[in-house]
Structure 1
Amino acid sequence: MPVTSDIVATYRGPGRVVRRLLALGQREDRALVFVMGFCVVAFIAQLPGLARRAHLEGLELNALMAAALLGTVFILPLLFYLLAFVSYGAARLVGGRGTAYGARLALFWALLSSTPLVLLNGLVAGLIGPGPALTLVGAAWFGVFIWFWLAGLRQTQRQAE
Structure 2
Amino acid sequence: MPVTADITATYRGPGRVIDRLLAAGQREDRALVILMAFCVLMFVAQMPRLAREAHLGGGDLNMLLGGALMGWIFIAPLALYLLAALSHLVARLFGARGSWYGARLALFWALLASSPLILLHGLVAGFIGNSPALSLVGALWLGVFAWFWIAGLIRAERGAA
TM-score, normalising length: structure 1: 0.99
CA distance, structure 2, for counterparts of residue 159 and residue 16 of structure 1: 15
* 1:33-91 deviation line (CA, Å, top 9, x unaligned): 01100000000000000000000000000000000000111100000000000000000
Structure-2 residue corresponding to 1:134:
134
Could you say what the CA RMSD is over the residues aligned between the two structures, in angstroms? 0.7
Match of residue 57 from structure 1: 57
C-alpha separation in 1, matches of 2:123 and 2:44:
10
- Please state if 1:155 is matched with 2:155: yes
The answer on 1:19 being equivalent to 2:19 is: yes
Say if 2:144 is the partner of 1:144: yes
Which whole-Å CA distance do the structure 1 matches of 2:28 and 2:128 have between them? 39
Cα distance, 1:118 vs structure 2? 0.3
Where in structure 2 are the equivalents of 1:106-145 lying within 5 Å? 106-145=106-145
User: What residue number does 1:3 align with?
Assistant: 3
Task: Give the corresponding residue for 2:97.
Answer: 97
Q: CA deviation at 1:146?
A: 0.4
2:87 match = 87
Task: Report the CA distance between 1:140 and its aligned residue.
Answer: 0.4
The 4+ residue runs of structure 1 with deviation greater than 3 A are none
SS at match of 1:129: coil
Q: What is the Cα deviation at residue 109 of structure 1?
A: 0.2
1:160: Cα distance to partner? 1.9
What is the CA–CA distance in structure 1 between the aligned matches of 2:118 and 2:77, rounded to whole Å?
16
Question: What code does the residue aligned with 2:78 have?
Answer: L
Identity percentage of aligned residues: 66
Partner of 1:38: 38
Could you list the per-position Cα deviations for residues 102-121 of structure 1 after superposition, in whole angstroms to 9, with x for gaps in the alignment? 00000000000001000000
1:131 offset after TM fit, Å? 1.2
Deviation at 1:92, TM superposition (A): 0.5
Q: Partner residue of 2:69? A: 69
Take 2:157 and 2:59, find their aligned partners in 1: how far apart are those partners?
A: 47
Q: Which runs of 5+ in 2 are unaligned?
A: none
Quick one: distance in 2 between partners of 1:116 and 1:21? 20
Q: Distance in 2 between matches of 1:101 and 1:71?
A: 24
